[in-house]
Structure 1
Amino acid sequence: MKTRILSRMAIASLFLLFLFSGCSSKKQVGLLMDSFAQERWAKDKQIFEKRIRELNGQLLFDTANGNPDRQFEQARKLLEAGVDVLVVVPVDQYQAAKIVKLAHKHGVPVISYDRLIRNCDLDLYISFDNMEVGRLQAEYLTRVCPKGKYAIISGPTSDHNSLMIKTGQLNVLGPYIDRGDIRVVFDKFVPRWDKDESYKLMKECLKQHPDINAVLVANDDLATGVVNALEEKNLAGKVWVSGQDADQIACERIMAGKQVMTVYKPIENIAISAADFAMKVAKESAVPSLNMSINNG
């Protein structure tokens, strides 16, 4: 299935992608989020809600705490409450297709926020260029550690972003691997975005490869678990660790020498853009026509 796309350059060499496929005084915008387990999502919600109010809209909100079935029921309730548009941070990229199909039965368009919903006629997808995130991570680590043993700890396969980040990483690592300069000796996906899961995987990695040189970690929350495992072996600061989101704790680790880098993404840009598009779609009951597309299923 294809969705129309509009790209806009954002800061930090990242892109925001806007993807499309083909009454009360205030328009109601429904926002469904995965969870607040990671620091950044509270920022997204706060900025998004503020912008909706500025545009004279009303926000109806819920969070699924990582449960895709709960998220579907929350969507059903918001649709029955009469929202004009639904904005979703999907728990699961495939299961959330049911939300899109249900919303369309109610005549409500769906915006997929920062995580792509697959296998459905999605109306709009707004995200960063996640392959670029992975590229930036790998380019930095290969500069500071051009040879040695690498581990890759990715986000869950239920999140399309995890796959895009890893693709960006591997595009950079490929030539190093082909030359034999870098060996990826440990390569795992966490079952969910949770630092406890990355902690377990890093402990497993260290048991198998105590001489690991660098760890490409999908984001800062997962990097927390990785660094915690390294600290237990007195290896924090000796193994290069990447991240993403510029969480405060990650910035503190960088200052302390325990994490080498993070990719800053301008959350305000994506949250405000999503709110603007949500209100535009809600008011016009239609999605603007664009001339680019991406296959989401």
Structure 2
Amino acid sequence: MRKTGLFYLLLIFVTHLSMGQSIKVGLLFDQFASARWEVDAGNLKEEFSKLGVETILKVAHSSIEKQIAQTQELVDEGVNAIIVVAVDGSNSSAIIDIAKANNVIVVAYDRPILDNRVDLYVSYNNLEVGKMQAKSMMETVKNGNIILINGPVADINAIQFRKGHLETLKPYVESGQIKIVQDLVLDNWSDVSALMRLYEVAPDFTQIKGVISAVDWFNDAAIEYAGDSAIFTNIYMTGQDPSTATAIKIEKGIQNMTVFKPIDVLSKKAAEMTMARLKKQEIKGLQNYSIGEYTLSSYLFNPIFIDKNNLNEYRSQFNK
């Protein structure tokens, strides 16, 4: 009797494993210019590997045309689902067209794709990230000139960050308490792009009270431009996606806060939701998240506010 029970347990295990091995998932990434995305890709491959699922990774190097072509390549290789970090979330309908024509599930990862046919979207509440950054600055900066530095409009998250900034700052701008002297929207997320733009607009940081940087490395560009980090101990600076270098800046008072969005939970949830959808299982915690005219079936994590008061609680989890 006991041997029979063990036999059935073994049979169930082998069946489950073989089902997993018959599934292929494509990982379609924008670029690896930021080391963060390599970590995401590695995490996703590991999570699916635990489930016995084969993954195929492709990187578009910030070319929407290449990402569309890679979608077809993944379909030709027999994937059942594609997890996409979109090059341009506003212009990725061709990706959805290809996937839907071949009954392939599409999961928008971290960046939304503005198409109601997207099966799932997993990320953080990025509108809240922008509000968190602006609110924290206004709790310290009561008046004066400020600068906004944000990422490209091709990344819908950048639009959400900026929307959160402007919604929060609106009453302070209208009352004349603060003045946005530069509202910089960059072509990409690189610190080099931020540095070049700062040289172009040539701000005088001695006249600035606050800098709302969408991400931490834009602050590095500001420091390099100014040539002296000490000046920023008198300027409120925000950020996002902290590294160990961020922790040092916060300790020295060069940067005041950052927004931490642990990425390991994203990859785990993306793998979990993808498999549940493939198996037509219920996915708990989904919400309808609206961006303009589009509504995505989403799972959104809450971002974590970091400053000198709770820095040591989280710093071991930051990127190196």
CA separation in 2, counterparts of 1:291 and 1:197? 35
Amino acid at match of 1:213: K
Work out whether 1:49 is the aligned partner of 2:18: no
When structure 1 is superposed on structure 2, of 71-80 and 23-32 the one drifting more is 23-32
Which runs of no fewer than 5 residues in structure 2 stay unpaired? 1-18, 296-320
Q: Secondary structure at the match of 2:242?
A: coil
Amino acid at match of 1:262: T
Is contact 1:119–1:296 with CA below 8 Å preserved after alignment? yes
CA separation in 2, counterparts of 1:210 and 1:250? 22
Work out whether 1:61 is the aligned partner of 2:40: no
Is contact 1:88–1:113 with CA below 8 Å preserved after alignment? yes
> In the TM superposition, what is the alpha-carbon distance from 1:269 to its structure 2 partner?
1.5
> In the TM superposition, what is the alpha-carbon distance from 1:201 to its structure 2 partner?
2.2
Distance 1:34 1:291, change over 3 A: closer
Q: Secondary structure at the match of 1:32?
A: strand
Work out whether 1:227 is the aligned partner of 2:184: no
Q: How does 1:118-137 map to 2 (within 5 A)?
A: 118-137=114-133
> In the TM superposition, what is the alpha-carbon distance from 1:296 to its structure 2 partner?
2.2
Q: Deviations over 1:205-252 (max 9, x none)?
A: 444675122111111233322232233586343332211111232222
> Which structure carries more helix by proportion?
2
CA separation in 1, counterparts of 2:184 and 2:80? 40
> In the TM superposition, what is the alpha-carbon distance from 1:292 to its structure 2 partner?
3.5
Q: Deviations over 1:110-139 (max 9, x none)?
A: 011111111452111111101110111111
> In the TM superposition, what is the alpha-carbon distance from 1:58 to its structure 2 partner?
1.1
Amino acid at match of 2:294: N
Work out whether 1:247 is the aligned partner of 2:243: yes
> In the TM superposition, what is the alpha-carbon distance from 1:277 to its structure 2 partner?
1.0
Distance 1:260 1:293, change over 3 A: closer
Give 2:256's aligned residue: 260
Distance 1:288 1:104, change over 3 A: farther
Between Structure 1 and Structure 2, whose CA radius of gyration is higher?
Answer: 2
Q: How does 1:32-47 map to 2 (within 5 A)?
A: 32-47=28-43
Which runs of no fewer than 5 residues in structure 1 stay unpaired? 1-22
Work out whether 1:182 is the aligned partner of 2:174: no
Give 1:73's aligned residue: 69
CA separation in 2, counterparts of 1:89 and 1:79? 17
Q: CA RMSD in A?
A: 2.3
User: Scaled by the length of structure 2, what TM-score is found?
Assistant: 0.78
Q: Secondary structure at the match of 2:28?
A: strand
2:154 corresponds, among 155, 158, 163, to 158
Give 1:296's aligned residue: 294
Give 2:78's aligned residue: 82
Q: Deviations over 1:153-197 (max 9, x none)?
A: 111001111111111112221221122111011112101111111
Work out whether 1:143 is the aligned partner of 2:157: no
Give 1:7's aligned residue: none
Is contact 1:29–1:282 with CA below 8 Å preserved after alignment? no
Is contact 2:86–2:113 with CA below 8 Å preserved after alignment? yes
May I ask how many residue pairs the two structures share in their alignment? 274
When structure 1 is superposed on structure 2, of 140-149 and 220-229 the one drifting more is 220-229
Q: Secondary structure at the match of 2:233?
A: coil
CA separation in 1, counterparts of 2:289 and 2:148? 30
User: Scaled by the length of structure 1, what TM-score is found?
Assistant: 0.84
Q: Give identity over the alignment, percent.
A: 28
CA separation in 1, counterparts of 2:65 and 2:166? 33
Give 2:88's aligned residue: 92
Give 1:3's aligned residue: none
Amino acid at match of 2:194: S
Q: Secondary structure at the match of 1:172?
A: helix
Amino acid at match of 2:42: Q
